[in-house]
Amino acid sequence: MTIERMNYPDGYFPEDEYLSRWEKVHAEMRLRQYDIAIVWGKTAGHYERAMETLWLTNFWSEHSGQEPDSPIWNARGFCCVILEPGKTPELHGDVAEVRRSLVRCGDYHFSDDPISSVARSLSARRPQGSVVFVGTDCLPVKYAKQLEALTPGIRYTYDDNLIRRCRRIKSPRELDLFREAGEMVSSALYRVCDSLYAGKTCAEAAAEGAYELTRRGGGWLRIPINYGTDDDSRFFERDPMYGYSQQAPQKGDMLRTWIYGPTHQGYWLDPGRSLVCGGKPTDAQKSLLIDSYSITDSVLKSVRHGVRVLDVVEEAERVQRSVADEHDLASNQWPYFGHGNGSMWEHPIINRDSVTPDDYFEEGMVASGESFMTRSGVGSVGWEQNFIVTRDGIELLTTTPVFWF
């Protein structure tokens, strides 16, 4: 059955997938001696901060975004999962009722003020020790202070890595999802590249990719496109509001494009490609394309189960030094050679300052290799590939052709 004909009226993952996730988190809580944890997330038109709560419950708000507070609602868009080892997670959200065939939790509490709702639940539990707060980088200070004021007898400690630690190695079902997502986004990126190759406008090319993902039931956050050798071509996107413009490249223009975001069921992939409009690069353009991709390729060839992340960084740095000798704007914005993938980016960030000697790639992780590069008078290019880490190397997920010449 083709992916675009698959439907999931009862949710993509069965209930036992969530039971295993909860047990994994409960085991981690016991290991860290945590009695109660509250896990904050934000959906409601947002994707990147849905990570923890989506993974735990498959909850998604139907509101449009984080609306300004008013006399009739507060903190709309935020949700919270309360965890206690041995108990079914309790969910607090901003929709009147959840579909139990889709959302996985125990009790569900609807409120137009999830801060007050969580405070009441915590107070009723009468915690003996501290409550672990997960999501300090998600819940704004205003709402965190409200929660503290509403629970004066509770002491909070903070651990934003509690759920991330449990999500790092993907389950067999998650890996199958990523394989499907790879097929979906690879097909969509092909359509973007093919349109740019033919000289269509950036908006038309983005629309082709968006259509392909949409018809397969997937999604995206950005489809950034840029081209040329002018001063604006240094930037990652031609138009920083949407990523694409209604301008069209000319034959011979150097191009780069990405698709990234919640490709499938909220899980992120983010492949990128570079090419020349018309498919006939000059010798200088071909050299830039080949040399720049060699940096990304060094990551793909270095990663396997048990390899230190720092060793992969060192190999990518070695290749980069051999081919790149000019300032690149995108490299300054994203100074790494890839990252973990899950519900947005995850550890490890492939940068020597972001990992320790004890960080290793492990079988079942999903990650990316990426690179950016500029040569004056030639253009700016970039690449990204997504893969599953295996015992012997990688399983490539993003199969859109690399070179278009």
For residue 134, the tally of other CB atoms under 10 A from its CB is 26
Residue 332 belongs to a domain: yes
Alpha carbons 236 and 229: distance in angstroms, whole number:
13
Measured CA to CA, the distance from residue 89 to residue 107 in angstroms comes to 7
Tell whether 405 is covered by a domain: no
The answer to whether 118 touches 147, Cβ cutoff 8 Å, is yes
Q: 121 and 176: one domain?
A: no
The CATH number for 266's domain is 3.90.230.10
Of the candidates 358, 404, 359, 360, which has an alpha carbon nearest to the alpha carbon of residue 381?
Answer: 404
Q: Are residues 230 and 136 in the same domain?
A: no
Shared-domain flag, residues 145 and 183 = no
Q: Are residues 323 and 266 in the same domain?
A: yes
Q: Are the beta carbons of 341 and 268 closer than 8 angstroms?
A: yes
Strands 36-42 and 131-134: parallel
* 383 and 261 in a common domain: yes
Structural domain contains residue 191: yes
> Last residue of some domain: 167, 196, 224?
167
Question: Is residue 36 one of the residues assigned to a domain?
Answer: yes
Q: Is there a single domain that holds both residue 245 and residue 391?
A: yes
Give domain status of residue 403, yes or no: no
CATH, residue 108: 3.40.350.10
Q: How confident is the model at residue 1 (pLDDT cuts 50, 70, 90)?
A: very low
Extract the runs of DSSP E, i.e. beta strands, from 139-296.
156-158, 225-227, 254-258, 261-264, 267-269, 272-276
Domain total for the chain? Answer: 2
CA distance linking residue 237 with residue 341, whole number of Å: 22
Residues 111 and 184 in one domain: no
Pair (162, 259) in one structural domain: no
How far apart are alpha carbons 200 and 238 in whole angstroms? Answer: 14
For range 101-121, the mean pLDDT: 96
- Beta carbons within 10 angstroms of residue 131's beta carbon: 19
Q: Are residues 213 and 70 in the same domain?
A: no
The pLDDT of 214-222, averaged and rounded, is 94
148 plus 203 within the same structural domain: no
Q: Give CA separation, 348 vs 267, 317, 329, in Å.
A: 17, 16, 23
What is the SS3 assignment for 104? coil
Angle separating helix axes 309-323 and 283-302, nearest 10 degrees: 170
pLDDT of amino acid 6: 61
pLDDT digits (tens, 9 = 90+) for 241-297: 999 999 999 999 999 999 999 999 999 999 999 999 999 999 999 999 999 999 999
Domain co-membership, 136 together with 251: no
Q: What is the pLDDT of residue 345?
A: 93
- Helix, coil or strand: residue 60: coil
> Does the pLDDT of residue 382 top 50, yes or no?
yes
Compute the distance between CA of residue 257 and CA of residue 279 in angstroms, rounded to an integer: 15
Is it true that the peptide bond before 152 is cis, omega within 30 degrees of 0? no
Reported as a pLDDT band with limits 50, 70 and 90, residue 5 is low
Q: Is 401 within the bounds of a domain? A: no
Q: 6: buried, middle or exposed (CB in 10 Å: 19+, 13-18, 0-12)? A: exposed
H or E segment and range at residue 70: none
The residue among 132, 167, 202 that closes a domain is 167
Write the pLDDT tens digit of every residue in 52-85.
999 999 999 999 988 899 999 999 999 999 999 9
Domain residue limits at 108: 3-167
CA distance 227 to 233: 5
What number of other Cβ atoms are within 10 A of residue 115's Cβ?
Answer: 23
Percent of the chain surpassing pLDDT 90? 89
Of 167, 187, 218, which marks where a domain is finished?
167
In a domain, 22, yes or no: yes
pLDDT digit string, tens, across residues 164-213: 999 999 999 999 999 999 999 999 999 999 999 999 999 999 999 999 99
Whether 66 and 209 share a structural domain: no
21 within 8 A of 56, measured Cβ to Cβ: yes
Quick check: is 357 in a domain? yes
